[in-house]
Amino acid sequence: MNKDDDENVEKIKKKMVEDIMSKNEENYPDGPIKVNDDDFQETIEKYPLVLVDFWADWCGPCKMMEPVLEDLAQEYQGEIVIAKMNVDNNRKVPNQFGVSSIPTMVLFKDGESVERMVGALQKEQLKQKFEENMS
């Protein structure tokens, strides 16, 4: 191989590493996604970690959580998906998980519920739960 061949091989290697590193983020949304009774199971099984926020339009504490969840979705893109389920439009899944107060946030790891949080939380509280479950 000559010098040009070596340079081309290095470029190809570099491109492959970049593709692998960015692949995670490409498959993850860059903000919260909406889920419903029909696509809930598929969503929690598709990603290793999913935080589902059970909320409603009329809920003041739910509205307080919106910017926090937006920030976390971007900060943890490629690692955690934030999903939002409106409890007024979806009854099956909230009933299945005994959601009686909102906001209720449930963290799913590999399709299984691992954490349940009720009420408006601070960003740092959610980050702590994320970090505890990211291994």
Task: For residue range 57-113, list pLDDT tens digits in order.
Answer: 999 999 999 999 999 999 999 999 999 999 999 999 999 999 999 999 999 999 999
* Domain annotation covers residue 6: no
Where is average pLDDT lowest: 18-27, 77-86, 101-110, 126-135?
A: 18-27
Query: Span 5-28, mean pLDDT?
Result: 65
Total count of domains within the chain: 1
* Domain annotation covers residue 128: yes
Question: Is 59 an annotated catalytic residue?
Answer: yes
Can you give the CATH number for the domain in which 113 is found?
3.40.30.10
Determine which one of 35, 50, 62, 121 is catalytic. 62
Cα–Cα distance measured from residue 57 to residue 130, given in angstroms and rounded to the nearest whole number: 25
pTM of this prediction?
0.80
Q: What is the CA radius of gyration of the chain?
A: 19
Question: Is 62 an annotated catalytic residue?
Answer: yes
Determine which one of 44, 49, 59, 105 is catalytic. 59
Domain that holds residue 120: 31-132
Phi/psi-derived region of residue 111, left when phi > 0, alpha when psi is between -120 and 50, beta in every other case: left
* Domain annotation covers residue 98: yes
